[in-house]
Chain A
Amino acid sequence: MTIEDVRQIILNILADIAPDEDISSIDDNTKLRDQIDLDSMDFLDIVMELRKRFNIEVPEKDYEHLATMAGCVSYLTPLLKDRSMAS
């Protein structure tokens, strides 16, 4: 999976958990929770979706890496690089 693929995966997950939000204009370096209405319950959902879709466990101490889109991509790309989008 490429960096672009990983970014798309995060967008897909965000679209599922925040269906009414406009996610097309997300800025990669600004905190997600400042751009769309996400609270700690929603971050749990992101983590749970990663587990469900890709069997990836994100330990609680690493949640901070998911605060921005850029953070998500750099944290997740190494974990997902050998996977295909379809998994």
Chain B
Amino acid sequence: MRYETIIIGAGLSGLAAGIRLAMFDKKVCIVEKHVEIGGLNSFYVRKKRRFDVGLHAMTNYSPKGVRSSPLGKLLKQLRISHDDFRLCQQEVSEIRFPENSLRFTNDFEFLRQEVSEQFPDQIDGFNKLVEKILSFDELNLNEGGCLLSRPVLESFISDPILIDMLFCPLMYYGNAREGDMDFYQFVIMFKSIFVEGFSKPQGGMYYILNLMADKFKSLGGELRMGNGVKTINSKEGTVYSVTLDKDGELETEAVLSSMGYVETLSCCQPKVLDLEECKIGQVSFMESLFVVDKEPRDLGYDKSIVFFSTQPRFNYKVPGDLIDISSGVLCCSNNFKFPEPLDDGLIRLTNLASFGRWDCLPRKDYISAKKEWRGRALDALFAFFPDFRDNVVFLDSFTPKTIKKYTGHINGAVYGSPQKIKNGKTSVNNLYICGTDQGFLGIIGATLSGISMANLHLLK
């Protein structure tokens, strides 16, 4: 038996690509190494509570009926209705720096107003920047030159604090590069966070992932869990099969891989890759979850998401220490407009982290370091925010090492390599990549990546 396409990975991009192919009766199989679906955006159960690993919020909120937006396109292509995603919008989010605060909602004019009040001498420049952003074609799949954002922003805005404040959420939610950001990526993230905005699905990622997996299976797609791809085999430069970890070989006409670019090429037999030449992603995070015994707003946390820096200048790079406590993201799931209050109060704290520093710790030091650095991150936080330590009833943390273990991404690099392969092609015929390293990031981005790579290479 021979498949038309084998998809590697049952994360969001793999599932979305699978739905597209199965919808048109292609013989398709998704091969996933882990025993759960979801990849970087999965879920786990501790003490009878189910936690989302990746989900703070879905970006790109657009209301029902808007079909030309990224979310609208995604739903249309997967033939899922807006109602089925059960999206609940954010209330208010905030970018908080020592001297300034900018709040934003799913109405862009709210942010524009905030900028004009907080940075009155910058509002004209900000408005011109917004015009440039709105008219930019960020989704062009042809490789363009590499245009960085900082110089572009500096040509419109002269206050470096405002520039850093705009960067902070956009980098945390979708930047594989340290220090600066590709401008097309800045535009994607600006639109998806500031212009469109945040929501959360009722039932969390668990619900969305199952919706997608069920759709894939009901269309006749095959899903193989708990057995990863060991090698991708080619003959005369064209893919013909994959070999699985727990033996077995599956023949196929094409392979679409969401493992990451270098991760994919490293699996190729015969070898195709000079690893030295590839830029490998470095940016990763530590995240701690705190279940608290009250609604977060009763503890003084009334925002949906807060992107903060405790220093006047924000620095997005791999820290020299295990984590960087000088900036972070705070997310309170409860502060979204759910029809009914959630069972528990939940606060999540995310900080930049160094894979290398975590990876070299021996096991017992690793466990104690998690505790120590969680404590340090909280100390830094409580210099600006109310202390909730006495209200914590359950807590858990994960590190770049956890992310690597469960998703296979080298360095636990959540946003993959800074060099994206926008057209999804590799040097091996009929081997394509989608997801993180193709260049559309985040939940909505990864899903659109799977759809567009399936359309471009495997459906025509």
Contacts and interface: CB of A to CB of B under 8 A. Distances in A.
Q: Do A and B bind each other?
A: yes
Interface of A: 16-21, 37, 39, 41-42, 44-45, 48-49, 51-52, 60
Interface of B: 23-25, 64-65, 67-68, 72-73, 76-77, 79, 81-82, 451-452, 455, 459-460
B459 A20 contact: no
A41 B67 contact: no
A19 B81 CA distance: 8
Given A18-B76, A52-B25, A44 B67 contact: no
Contacts of A39: 68, 73
Contact of A44 (B64, B68, B72, B460): B460
Contacts of A19: 79, 81
B24 A51 contact: yes
Contacts of A17: 76, 79
A16 B80 CA distance: 11
A67 B311 CA distance: 56
B73 A48 contact: no
A42 B79 CA distance: 11
A52 B76 CA distance: 18
A37 B459 contact: no
Contacts of A18: 67, 76
A52 B24 contact: yes
B25 A41 contact: no
Contact of A16 (B72, B77, B79, B452): B79
Given A17-B76, A52-B24, A44 B81 contact: no
Contacts of B77: 41, 45
Nearest to B64: A20
Contacts of A16: 79
- In this complex, the member of B76, B77, B82 whose beta carbon has the largest number of chain A beta carbons within 10 angstroms is B76
A23 to B, nearest CB: 13
Contacts of A21: 67
Contacts of B81: 19-20
Nearest to A49: B24
A45 B24 CA distance: 9
